[in-house]
Structure 1
Amino acid sequence: MRRRLIQSTLAVVLVVIAVFGVSLVVVETRTISTSAQERVESEAVRLASIVDSRILGAEQITSEILADQVGEDRYAVVRIPGERPIEVGQKPSGEVIEATRTGEEGETVTVQEPRSAVTQEVGRTLLIIGAVALLAVIAAVLLALRQADRLASPLTDLAETAERLGSGDPRPRRKRYGVPELDRVADVLDNSAERIARMLTAERRLAADASHQLRTPLTALSMRLEEITLTDDPETVKDEATIALTQVERLTDVVERLLTNSRDPRTGSAVTFDLDEVIQQQLAEWRPAYRSSGRAIVSSGKRHLQAVGTPGAVAQVLAALIENSLMHGGGTVALRTRVTGNQAVIEVTDEGPGVPADLGARIFERTISGRNSTGIGLAVARDLAEADGGRLEMLQAQPAVFGLFLSRTPVKKKGDGDDTVR
Structure 2
Amino acid sequence: MRRRLIQSTLAVVLVVIAVFGVSLVIVETRTISNSAQERVDSEAVRLASIVDGRLLGGESVTADILKEQVGPDQFAVIRIPDQTPIEIGSRPDGEVIHSTAKGEQGETVTFQEPRTTVSREVGRTLLIIGLVALLAVIAAVLLAVRQANRLASPLTDLAETAERLGSGDPRPRHKRYGVPELDRVADVLDSSAERIGRMLTAERRLAADASHQLRTPLTALSMRLEEITLTDDPDTVKEEATIALTQVERLTDVVERLLTNARDPRTGSAVTFDLDEVIQQQLAEWRPAYRGVGRAIVSSGKRHLRAVGTPGAVAQVLAALIENSLMHGGGTVALRTRVTGNQAVVEVTDEGPGVPADLGARIFERTISGRNSTGIGLAVARDLAEADGGRLELLQAQPPVFGLFLSRTAPPRKPAEELPTVR
Instruction: Provide the TM-score with structure 1 as the length reference.
Output: 0.96
- Report the Cα offset of residue 20 of structure 1: 0.4
Counterpart of 2:328 in structure 1 is 328
Alignment map for 1:239-318 (pairs within 5 Å):
239-318=239-318
Instruction: Work out the CA distance in 1 between the residues paired with 2:208 and 2:225.
Output: 26
After superposing the two structures, state which structure 1 stretch, 30-39 or 343-352, moved more.
Answer: 343-352
Structure 1 counterpart of 2:342, which letter? N
Separation of aligned partners in 1, 2:148 and 2:133 = 22
Query: 1:214 is paired with a residue of what secondary structure?
Result: helix
* Residue 114 in structure 1 maps to residue 114 in structure 2: yes
* Counterparts of 1:212 and 1:332, CA distance in 2: 24
CA distance in 2, matches of 1:198, 1:49: 99
Q: What is the match of residue 171 of structure 1? A: 171
TM-score (norm 2): 0.95
Tell me what 2:137 maps to: 137
1:94 aligns to what SS in structure 2?
A: coil
Give the structure 1 partner of residue 225 of structure 2: 225
**Structure 2 CA distance for aligned equivalents of residues 306 and 22 of structure 1:** 99
Alignment match, 1:42: 42
Give the Å deviation of 1:172: 1.1
Alpha-carbon shift at residue 187 of structure 1 (Å): 1.0
- CA deviation profile, 1:195-240 (whole Å, cap 9, x unmatched): 1111111111111111111111101000000101111111111100
Q: Which moved more, 1:180-189 or 1:18-27?
A: 180-189
Give the letter for the 2:198 counterpart: R
2:149 counterpart letter in structure 1: D
The residue number in structure 2 matching 1:368 is: 368
Between the aligned residues of both structures, percent identity stands at: 88
The DSSP-based 3-state class of the residue aligned with 1:346 is: strand
**For 2:302 and 2:369, how far apart are their aligned partners in 1?**
32
Amino acid at match of 2:235: E
Query: Which amino acid in 1 is paired with 2:329?
Result: G
User: C-alpha offsets along residues 35-65 of structure 1, whole Å, 9 cap, x if unaligned?
Assistant: 0011111111111111111111001111111
Amino acid at match of 1:161: T
Q: Distance in 2 between matches of 1:67 and 1:318?
A: 127
Aligned equivalents of 1:341 and 1:37: distance in 2? 115
| CA–CA distance in structure 2, aligned partners of residues 306 and 94 of structure 1 | 125
Q: Give the CA RMSD over aligned residues.
A: 1.0
Aligned to 2:413: none
Structure 1 residue aligned with 2:353: 353
Aligned position for 2:206: 206
1 CA distance for matches of 2:42 and 2:304? Answer: 127
Separation in structure 2 between the aligned mates of residue 228 and residue 134 of structure 1, nearest angstrom: 97
Which amino acid in the other structure matches residue 101 of structure 1?
A: A
CA-CA distance at 1:174 after TM superposition: 1.2
Aligned residue type for 1:335: L
Partners of 1:355 and 1:398 within 8 A in 2? yes
- TM-superposed CA distance for 1:394, in Å, is 0.4
- Shift of residue 409 of structure 1? 2.6
Provide the rounded CA distance (Å) in 2 between the counterparts of 1:301 and 1:55: 147
Runs of 5+ unmatched residues, structure 2 = 411-423
**What's 1:414 paired with?**
none
Secondary structure in 1 matching 2:348: strand
Residue equivalent to 1:415: none
**Partners of 1:250 and 1:132 in 2: CA distance:** 87
Moved over 4 A (4+): none
Q: Distance in 2 between matches of 1:311 and 1:181?
A: 54
8 Å CA contact 1:268–1:387 kept in 2: the answer is yes
Structure 2 residue identity aligned to 1:210: A
Residue deviations 1:258-277 (CA, integer Å, cap 9, x gap):
11111110111111111111
May I ask how many residue pairs the two structures share in their alignment?
Answer: 410
8 Å CA contact retained: 1:344, 1:405: yes
- Contact 1:306 / 1:409 at 8 angstroms: preserved in 2? no
Deviations along 1:150-205, one digit per CA (max 9) or x if unpaired, are: 11111111111111111111111111111111111111111111111111111111
CA contact (8 A) 1:347 1:403 kept: yes
